Amino acid sequence: MDASVMSLFPWLQNGLKIFKTMIETQQEGIDLAGKSLQMPGLVRQMKADYDADLEFLSLFSEDPPPQDWHFDYKDKNILLDLPGMRLIDISTDGPHCIGNYGVVFAPRAGHHSNIAERTAFFLRERGLTRMAVVEQKCARDIPLVIDGQPHDENFEGQVAQYKAVLEHLKSLTGFPPHLIAVCQPGPLLLTTLILYPELGRTFGSAGSPMHTEAERGMLTDFSRLAGESYIDWLIDVFSETIGPGEIGEGRKVYDGRLQVLGFYYLGMDQHLQNFRKYYSDLKAGNREKAERQKEFYQWYNQTQHFPAEFIRDTYKKIFVNNALMRGTLKIGDRTASIENYPVYVPIWALGGSKDDIVPPRQAVGHIDRINGLDAVKKLSVIAEAGHMGIFRSSMVLEKDYTEIAKFLLEHSDIAQEEGE
């Protein structure tokens, strides 16, 4: 099972649990005193205050619930079950006006893939009725050996699986899918398209580290200062090997809790604002707003682990060397370069003006590196949002993804049969 980020600090988690117990004891005493003094109104108010305190503390002292997609899906909806990912169909029943699937690749960033579902469902509601999502698996659930052969979840292994996903979706309708990357998969998905251009109708990315030299950022500055060897040291110190009896037995993994702690550090000011707002909403009885924030942090604090080779490749190839933009990204015996982007494939990119993980120019700057691309085939959008807001803000969905959906529909293929 994956762990809560708070489990890295058992002393803090235990201390908060003790504090909760003290509040619960005080609450019981006030309840008894209020009844004996016949002051029910005062008791209700104080109980509400204590309930708010207890719920706030629970966010940090209790392990969050297991994470999954919020939509109900059956085995028949799982189109592919690959070693490191699953392809899940969330299409409407039809009829479909366009023949292309839209496929949203969720990030492998220490969290469950359901961060991508709001984007996927919004685009589906805007006309991309053939829609699928790619769920990244936790490293514990990825076999080390498949059919007697060792399985790597490095860049090469990821591209092979991305290719399988795109080939399958194309085979279902006869049309190549719209490629949509949420955060981390951006460079991998772009690499796959460059190597196999017949598999994409359009390409798009949101909050992805596409061109990590287009603008300075704390994460990329640190990566280049620390150098390539830093990630090797980090994996050696903070990795473990999956034990007997688990699917990923023998696989070396990097602890996802450390990745999430890094995200907390990068966005600490925003997180502190969120916690203050969550507490004030609890105190004021704003249940709907409080529940949204609670649900988000339950997702944020429940972590998934990385295959060690995946985190190593991501760090070196993207954040240190910017290999795809420099034209040095090796996949097997082939080299992928932005210079070889298929200019007949329309492209869009979305960045966040307040993004502290992927600065906006890093998210959209790769489009400027593509020569020969007609103006009508490219769309660059900077949203008024931070990193997480790009994927979950209602304002960004309505304003910016509406524009993106229109762009995708304009570059779609008509369904083969009317009313299909």
Please check whether residue 114 is in contact with residue 299, taking contact to mean a CB–CB distance below 8 angstroms.
Answer: yes
Q: What residues are paired with 363 via a beta bridge?
A: none
Please check the confidence at residue 100 and state whether its pLDDT lies above 90: yes
* Rounded distance between C-alpha atoms, residue 130 and residue 103, angstroms: 9
Specify the pLDDT at position 20.
Answer: 61
Nearest by Cα to 363 from 247, 214, 223, 219: 214
Please report the pLDDT score of residue 418 as a whole number. 45
Q: What is the CA radius of gyration of the chain?
A: 23
Contacts of 252 (CB under 8 A, 6+ apart): 235, 239, 240, 241, 307, 308, 309
Three-class DSSP category at 85: strand
- Give the model's confidence band at 419: pLDDT under 50 very low, under 70 low, under 90 confident, else very high: very low
Q: Report the C-alpha gap between 377 and 165 in whole angstroms.
A: 24
pLDDT (tens digit per residue) in 222-241: 999 999 999 999 999 988 99
- In this prediction, residues 359-366 reach a mean pLDDT of 97
**DSSP for 170-220, written as a single string:** HHHHSSPPEEEEESTTHHHHHHHHHH-GGG-SEEEEES----TTSS--HHH
Calculated CA dihedral for residues 116, 122, 126, 132, nearest 10 degrees: 40
Mean pLDDT for 6-16 is 65
Does 378 score more than 80 pLDDT?
yes
User: Which of 48-62, 120-134, 225-239 has the weakest average pLDDT?
Assistant: 48-62
Give the pLDDT band of residue 180 (cuts 50, 70, 90). Answer: very high
User: What's the average model confidence in pLDDT over 78-86?
Assistant: 97
Give SS3 for 58: helix
Supply the pLDDT for residue 72: 86
Token output for 363: 């998210």
Average pLDDT value for residue range 253-270: 86
In 3D space, the residue among 200, 210, 209, 205 whose CA is nearest the CA of residue 176 turns out to be 200
In three state form, how does the secondary structure of 127-172 look?
Answer: CCCCEEEEEECCHHHCCCEECCEECCCCHHHHHHHHHHHHHHHHHH
Residue 210, token pair as written in the block: 């596409």
Domains of the chain: 5-63+256-301 (no CATH), 78-221+305-410 (3.40.50.1820)
Percent of the chain with pLDDT over 90: 66
